[in-house]
Structure 1
Amino acid sequence: MHFIKNILFINFAILLLCIGCSQLKTDSTEIINSNVVMPTNEYSLGFNRIVFSVVNNEGSEAKKPLTVSVKNVKTNKLNVVDPVFYKWPNKNGGFYVLNTIFDNEGSYFININDLTDSDFIYKKKINITDNELTPKLGEVIPVLNNKIITDTQNISEITSDSNPDHNFYQYKLSEALNNDKLVIVFFLSPNFCKTATCFPQLDVFKKLKLKYHDKIIFIHVEVYENPHLIKGNLNNTKISSVLNEWNIKSEPYTFLIDKNNYLFRKFQGYVSFEEIENYIVNLLNE
């Protein structure tokens, strides 16, 4: 429960920092709105999943009637996109997921407007290049030397989860592939997550495993090299070298791999049970 409270505290802190500056023009074209929180910071050519939330004056993340568009600065091509709202687990409010495609390199604007408030404007400029940090969608998933139970004498050395599911630490990625099953690889630190969304995210995968244990192999990668030595003091942390193999810079981060070893979807930040299950069902029905 304290993880959920941390989420509320973080959101409220963001609101406090921005009170009095509802809109701030950073240049003649970009408008920053303090009520919009958009943590996604990795963009690439092709399909993109962009997460954002709208924080109201009470500090909670509300569902509002929004219009969202994505504009290519060079071609002026404008795509209107319907964001999907997902609820946070065990708390009020939620977040939006914007699925869009960037078909060319260059600059784009993401525009968000509230249909009930003409003064509500958000306009963010992003740059798209072909230099993707993490593994690319549609390509064969690269190797990953993730730690498993047989690498250690105590599972607490490879996960900070106080109630770990041992099945999450049974397979090296190379062993999990070519088993005619989907594979989900997720990077997070259950007890030392800096965004307070890792424990709820872990709960999503435990529920998914109960439902799809015979169809999906789950692989958890702990963010820290030494979870058993942290003992509640983040000064003792050491980032796991495994994260460097896929250039993971934030948590949680989730990768859904199809039966042919191709990366089908990736999720920066929290992904709900409902959202990821939609993709799972589609892959299983192919």
Structure 2
Amino acid sequence: MRSPHSSSLALACAALLLLAGCGSGEEGGGATSPNARPAPASSPQIASAADPVASEFPQPEGRTLQQLADTLEPGPEVGLASSVYTPGINRLAFGLIDAENKFVYGRTAVYVARKPTAKASGPFPAPADSLEVRTAFRSQTSNSTPGELKAIYHAEVDLPQPGRWFILTVTRLGGRLYGATADVRVSARSDIPGVGDPAPKVETPTLASVGNDVSKIDTRTPPSEMHREDLRDVLGRKPVALLFATPALCQSRVCGPVADIGAQLQAAYGDKVEFIHNEVYVDNDPRKGLRPQLTAFGLRTEPWLFTIDADGRVAARLEGAFGIEEYREAVEAAIRGADASGAAGS
């Protein structure tokens, strides 16, 4: 298929990462609190990219993925931000990166097929979800340069069979349609808990367990306040938002922003949901391997978010980069309960 090759979102983010200013928490009030929403979009392009609809994109009308791609201009490259896919509806998260390694935002949809010459399915709208938090919650371990990742695209796509699947993104920029391609591997199964599964009952470190030395369990600067409770003590008793992320050591360079989002949403929902942040590496040293909590959840990448309802079941899960709207929806799914969460997460 003609169009730019897909690239690593981790490499793109790493090239653009610099430090931001630090902040402090504020009191919130659930979904009605300003803390439950992203900061005002920093550009009209991001604001416009937040609400694409299927009707504004080409309908496949029996065409193959290659035939659709041939009608488009070559566009930005796709940087995938999710990697775990199993048969069924999956969350596909990605960024779009231009030739100058800058992130691109436009109204976007996704098409999929088993191979380029197979009939395409779609369009699946892919809204851009903001990673921009309010100033009070921005950390030094986040990013704030003009070229930073400010929003992440995500689409719910149907990948019904294991194997290799081909992806075509279509983005509307300046009244023209641009295409980019990628491919993903769908595994027959995954050991990672999915929506409706019981969450593993594991201990997570707290301030008390490390003698109040927060540097042992949090690489964020400043540290978050998501270390008050042990997951084992609250699982099955109240909703939980469990974030696996290492802001200072993140390979994907998005752990800082998602930890900032967690801090902001904790200010909005902290009276209803227990927010827990678990670092990724033993002793915060990548050479020592993953912490046992990640192993218990079957994880090999970061960051991950699991929200868990009051019955101890996964209400939503998000891998890789995720913005404040997806994070908020996952938190609210845990409040409602896993049975009401539907297809939240993947």
TM-score (norm 2): 0.64
* 2:125 counterpart residue number: 82
The 5 Å alignment of 1:67-106 reads 67-72=109-114, 78-89=121-132, 90=144, 91=146, 94-106=151-163
Of Structure 1 and Structure 2, the greater strand share is in 1
Contact (CA 8 Å) 1:67, 1:115: kept in 2 or not? Answer: no
Q: Which residue, 265, 273, 277 being the options, matches 1:208?
A: 265
Distance in 2 between the 1:55 and 1:7 partners? 8
Distance 1:9 1:156, change over 3 A: closer
1:170 aligns with 2:228: yes
1:161 aligns with 2:217: no
Distance 1:178 1:245, change over 3 A: closer
Contact (CA 8 Å) 2:105, 2:128: kept in 1 or not? Answer: yes
Q: Which moved more, 1:134-143 or 1:63-72?
A: 63-72
1:277 aligns with 2:328: yes
1:223 aligns with 2:280: yes
Q: Residue type matched to 2:258 in 1? A: Q
Give me the CA root mean square deviation.
Answer: 3.3
Write out per-residue CA displacement over residues 108-147 of structure 1, whole angstroms, 9 at most, x where no aligned residue.
Answer: 3322234569895433343323321421222111222322
Q: Which residue, 146, 151, 163 being the options, matches 2:204?
A: 146
Contact (CA 8 Å) 1:83, 1:97: kept in 2 or not? Answer: yes
Shift of 1:211: 0.7
Distance in 2 between the 1:109 and 1:57 partners? 22
Q: Residue type matched to 1:249 in 2? A: R
**Matched residue SS, 2:202:** coil
Contact (CA 8 Å) 2:108, 2:127: kept in 1 or not? Answer: no
Contact (CA 8 Å) 1:7, 1:196: kept in 2 or not? Answer: no
Distance 1:284 1:197, change over 3 A: same
Contact (CA 8 Å) 1:146, 1:221: kept in 2 or not? Answer: yes
Q: Percent identity?
A: 19
* 1:63 counterpart residue number: 105
* 1:112 counterpart residue number: 169
Contact (CA 8 Å) 2:242, 2:306: kept in 1 or not? Answer: yes
Q: In the comparison of the two structures, how many residue pairs are matched? A: 257
Shift of 1:155: 2.6
1:239 aligns with 2:239: no
Distance 1:37 1:165, change over 3 A: closer
* 2:15 counterpart residue number: 10
Distance in 1 between the 2:307 and 2:275 partners? 10
TM-score (norm 1): 0.75
Q: Where in structure 1 are there 5+ consecutive unaligned residues?
A: 1-5, 13-28
* 1:122 counterpart residue number: 180
Distance in 2 between the 1:208 and 1:107 partners? 36
